[in-house]
Structure 1
Amino acid sequence: MHISLRRAAGAVIALAFVTGMFVASPASAATPGCYESTCHGQDPAAEHCTADAVVVDSGDKDTSDGYSLYYSTACDAVWSSVSMDELSTQPSGYAQIFYAPTMGGAEAEYSTEIFRPTNGTTATVNSPMVSAPGSAYKGCMNWVQPALDPEPESVVGSTWSEDQGVCGGWH
Structure 2
Amino acid sequence: LINDKLMALLVLILDLFKGMFAVFLSKLFGLDYSLQWMVAIASILGHCYSPFLNFNGGKGVSTIMGSVVLLIPIESLIGLTVWFFVGKVLKISSLASILGVGTATVLIFFVPYMHIPDSVNILKEVGTQTPMVLIFIFTLIKHAGNIFNLLTGKEKKVL
Q: Which protein is richer in helix relative to its size?
A: 2
Give the greater-gyration-radius structure (CA): 1
TM range (shorter): under 0.3
Q: TM-score, normalised by structure 2?
A: 0.25
Q: TM-score, normalised by structure 1?
A: 0.24
Q: Which protein is richer in strand relative to its size?
A: 1
